[in-house]
Structure 1
Amino acid sequence: MLSYYVFWGFFSFFITLALSFLLLNYVKISHFLDSPDNDRKLHNVTVPRYGGIAFSFSILLGIIGIFKFDSQYFWVYISFVLVITLGILDDLFRLSWRVKMLVQIITGSIVFSAIKDIIPEIQFFSFSFTLPLILMFLLFLLWFVGMMNSVNLVDGMDGLAGGMVFITFMGLAYLGWFFSNSIFLCFCLVVICSLYAFLIFNAKPAKFFMGDTGSLFLGLLLAISPILFYFTNGAYISLDITPFLMFFSYLIFDTLRVFYYRAKKKKNPLTPDRQHFHHLILDKLGSYNATLFYIYLLMGLFILLGILMLKLEFTIEFGLLYLLFMILFIISTRFLKSILGIFVMVRKWLRGILMQVNPKQFSFSHLMFKIIFLIYILSHFILFYMIFFNSKWLVLLLAVTILAFVMQYFFQRSNLGIIVYLGVHFFILFFLSEALVDIGINMFFILLVFKYIILCGLLLMMIRYMVRYSVHYLMRFWKNSDMLIIICLFISLLYVFIFNSDNGLISSIWLELLLIFIFFRSSFLDLKVKT
């Protein structure tokens, strides 16, 4: 069953990848171009804005595959089609905000009509309440329209909106795992894998933007996620919105703060400006990557807090503290500046520590690569030694590994082939480990052959690096930490070969890890030669 769900994540990843490639290479529509025509925009060249089309259609196909046109989820298909159509038309013709608002209200009304008789009560920080139908409808529209536009409002930097929603759905995937809601977990995996493929093309400098098609669609996914969780988890009689509020906190806080600022200045709340929190951080730090890092970190802290509250229960006292923090974030400029001050202090502290290592030879890219690779090695331990005890670990492992790949690509600008290979290799290992449990022998050997074909390609690329850069290969390229990792992998391989020789699969995995590290580390020769 788990492999079936992961299949749809794998499927959505490759569909998004294929559609992105087709759009970039074969679709040349002038209306889909975003020009740097004002100081609010951070890009300097004209960039296509049809990236959202790729992952929205991919997610739609994935959802159809999961729900199989179940009439219970008919409202999901209708809302998806309406919002995708609205986004495409807006990207083409720049629709007025009144038209977009009207379509969003109609879509929200359709969704509400499907759920109004099913959800008896709402729970908020352990406090349950029932509202009159008309009041519930108005509050739902406020939530629905607000969340749909929140992603659109923060979509101001390469990789920002997509990365934020990616991290949010990592938290939602944990929510599905925690409550054993496999269908909702599968829904989250489809979104995560699609966004992972999109972020490959959206990292700075972006090859395309998601446009209104993507931002409105992602906002829709966030807006309906509490309802989908309720629909797919029949054991609950009330809709608990608390964990979703925790996971969406940054988007909610930033949207409300910007609306408050614009209203205070007597401006249209929908008028774009540079008052979003990411603009303030960028102006304060002056670093694009540092801004993304701190926004992602803030998102992660909110999600971690929500996960902790799942364990400790959402009390009313905590809810009051949450509301107080939200109010201060929205209306207090001094409170906001104090948060920015903390970011600046942490950045100076980290830079001071890192520069003490070796300011002349220190390579942040190489250090982060080793950290990511160690996470990758750890994932193999969990994958092969814990699957027989608790298969739920696999889902958490898959989420953490995908996040590691995204961080690697965003902050190190490594060769795209490295990231794609790591992702494909891990997915195949994931299926192989499942094959040891509940997949037939034919599927097992098909995946095994596919894995070794990829490994042969890896060996050919490694030989290419050795031949092409033979002069540089042994000239102070390998660092002590590289040799330490290689020695540890080699010793592990010998240990498995001598004391566990009957398990050829485990031996081959350690051999692959050794070859993969040598190849990936060799790929940095590209950077060394160019510089």
Structure 2
Amino acid sequence: MYHRYGLRFTLRLLTVCSYCSMYSTSFKILFIIWDVKVNKSIHLVVSKILYVLSFLLSFLIVYFLIPPLGKLAFRLDFVDKPRADNERKIHRQPIPLTASYAIFTGFFVSYLLFTRDFSWETGALFGGGLLLLAIGTVDDWYKTKGRDFPALPKLIVQVSAAVLVYFAGIQFNGFVNPLSGQYVFLPEWLQFILTILWIFGVTTVVNFSDGLDGLAGGLSAISAVTLFVVAVTKGQTNSAMLSITLIGVTLAYLRYNKPPAKVFMGDAGATFLGFMLAVIALDGAFKQATVLSLFIPVLALGVPIFDNLFVVIKRMMEGKSPYQADASQVHYRLLRAGFSQKQAVVVLYLVSTCLGLSSIILLLLQT
């Protein structure tokens, strides 16, 4: 049964990819011709079609990959087991930890297929994402055995992924002076520090937010929608394509991760989503930003950033490691206050949506 299902999925996926690749190539040719000879509005129509196709393909890949990967997880005992002595383990039955591989595959297959972008920047995204997927897999494997993976290797790998992206040219360079209107370039050492801190920080806080069914995936989807709107408004096609592809994979994942969850993405998936959101912000919202509009990506990722910033400060004041897992995040506090898991998730979705809308309003005020 498993092999028949896998074969049917493979054939369907190859068919979809073939058609999409054909249409993508056609659109690219038209894109080049029209860019020179025809109105720019047609240029925008082609971009919108590519956005839709990338969204659909990324969604379908994740949607169809998760079930067979889940079955494989049970065969390999790569599942998150419930534990009565752990307040953070809310589920009551073993859950596969394999959604991250579907998310990673769906994202890069779709993005590369519709952009044909094999630049150093894309290579850094792929390499950084692969590093996080690998160390996250090791971390998740430790969890399946009821053990904790040391924090230092994770920190080293996450910083390495951020450094890889920085040297590929995706970095925070400066801001527009609101008084003179001129762009202020920061010293290179400060560019490096701020870029690494941003990528590492967002990667970490999104991972820390993965505590309830549907929470991290939903917050990532809302943030990606916000960053997509920002990118389209600013005419940043690459950032928009990254965002819409991320929306596709997260929504497909939520189909299986909504309460009660049938699959988890684990640390491997959560760190990958955080990494991609951080990079999208650097590639889009932070570019040519004024001092005020620097808050746009911060608001877009507001719930995980503000919540976990508070948690990290609290842990450090108590003499604990920032990586020490506990139940101090806002979603656990909502559960202790009497909210159900679904209610807590919906509340945080609403807060994230409000922050996202605030960032869009802030953007419109700047244009």
Q: TM-score w.r.t. structure 1 length?
A: 0.55
Q: How does 1:321-400 map to 2 (within 5 A)?
A: none
- 1:388-410: CA deviation from partner (whole Å, max 9, x where unpaired): xxxxxxxxxxxxxxxxxxxxxxx
Structure-1 separation of matches of 2:177 and 2:125: 24
Partner of 1:60: 108
Alpha-carbon distance change, 135 to 39 in structure 1, aligned in 2, over 3 angstroms: same
Q: Which residue of 2 aligns with 1:267?
A: 320
Give me the whole-angstrom Cα distance separating, in 1, the residues matched to 2:285 and 2:329.
32
Aligned residue type for 1:97? A
In 1, are the aligned partners of 2:199 and 2:278 still within 8 Å (CA)?
Answer: yes
- Deviation at 1:129? 4.3
**Higher relative contact order (CA closer than 8 Å, sequence separation 6+):** 2
Distance 1:278 1:177 in 2: 32
- Paired residue secondary structure (1:285): coil
- Specify the code of the residue in structure 2 equivalent to 1:98: L
Letter in 2 for 1:242: F
2:302 corresponds in structure 1 to: 249
Q: How far does residue 301 in structure 1 lie from its aligned partner after superposition?
A: 0.8
Q: How many residues align?
A: 310
Moved over 3 A (4+): 122-130, 236-241
**Deviation of 1:28 (Å):** 2.5
How much has 1:206 moved relative to structure 2?
Answer: 0.7
Cα contact 2:54–2:110 (8 A) shared by 1: yes
1:50 Cα deviation after fit: 1.4
Q: Give 1:40-439 correspondences, 5 Å limit.
A: 40-73=88-121, 74-93=123-142, 95-115=149-169, 120-122=173-175, 129-229=184-284, 236=288, 241-313=294-366
Q: 1:284 to 1:143 in 2, by over 3 A?
A: same
Name the residue aligned to 1:448. none
**In 2, distance between residues paired with 1:42 and 1:123?**
46
Give how far 1:158 is off.
0.4
Work out whether residues 170 and 192 of structure 1, in 8 Å CA contact, stay in contact via their aligned partners in 2.
Answer: yes
- CA distance in 2: counterparts of 1:59 and 1:286, whole angstroms: 34
Q: Is residue 231–residue 285 contact of structure 2 (8 Å, CA) maintained in 1? A: no
Change (3 A) 1:193 1:61: same
CA distance in 1, matches of 2:79, 2:71: 14
Aligned partners of 2:73 and 2:98 also within 8 Å? no
1:190-245 residue CA offsets vs partner (Å, 9 max, x unmatched): 111111111111011111111011101001011111232279x8xx4889633111
**SS class of match (2:175):** strand
Aligned pairs for 1:469-488 within 5 A: none
Residue identity opposite 2:98 in structure 1:
Y
Once the two structures are TM-superposed, the CA of residue 275 in structure 1 deviates from its matched residue by 1.0
Q: Secondary structure at the match of 2:88?
A: coil
CA distance 1:247–1:50, shift in 2 (3 Å): same
Q: CA deviation at 1:154?
A: 1.0
Name the larger-Rg structure: 1
Q: What value does the CA root-mean-square deviation take over the aligned residues?
A: 2.5
- Report the counterpart of residue 69 of structure 2 in structure 1: 23
Decide whether the 8 Å contact of 1:36 with 1:45 is kept in 2. yes
In the other structure, the counterpart of 1:39 is 87
Report the CA distance between 1:160 and its aligned residue: 0.5
Residues 291 and 27 of structure 1: is their aligned pair in 2 closer, same or farther, counting only changes over 3 Å? closer
Secondary structure at 1:122 match in 2: strand
Question: Per-residue CA shift, 1:88-115, capped at 9, x if unaligned?
Answer: 2322245421111111111111111122
- Give how far 1:285 is off: 3.2
- Hey, what's the Cα distance between the residues in 2 that align with 1:148 and 1:125? 30
Q: Measured at CA, do residues 262 and 237 of structure 1 come closer, stay the same or move farther in structure 2, by a change above 3 Å? A: closer
TM-aligned CA deviation for residue 48 of structure 1: 1.5
Match of 1:4 in 2: 50
Q: Relative to 1, partners in 2 of residues 1:237 and 1:302: Cα closer, same or farther, differing over 3 Å?
A: closer
Aligned residues of 1:151 and 1:216 also touching (Cα < 8 A): yes
Give the Cα separation in 1 of the matches to 2:176 and 2:153: 33
Per the alignment, do residues 111 and 124 of structure 1 end up closer, same or farther by CA in structure 2, a change over 3 Å counting? farther
| Structure 1: stretches of 5+ with no match in the other structure | 315-531
Instruction: Percent identity, please.
Output: 26
Over 3 Å counting, the alpha-carbon distance change for 1:125 and 1:105 in structure 2 is farther
Distance 1:71 1:172 in 2: 22
Instruction: Tell me, in whole angstroms, the C-alpha distance in 2 between the residues paired with 1:59 and 1:108.
Output: 19
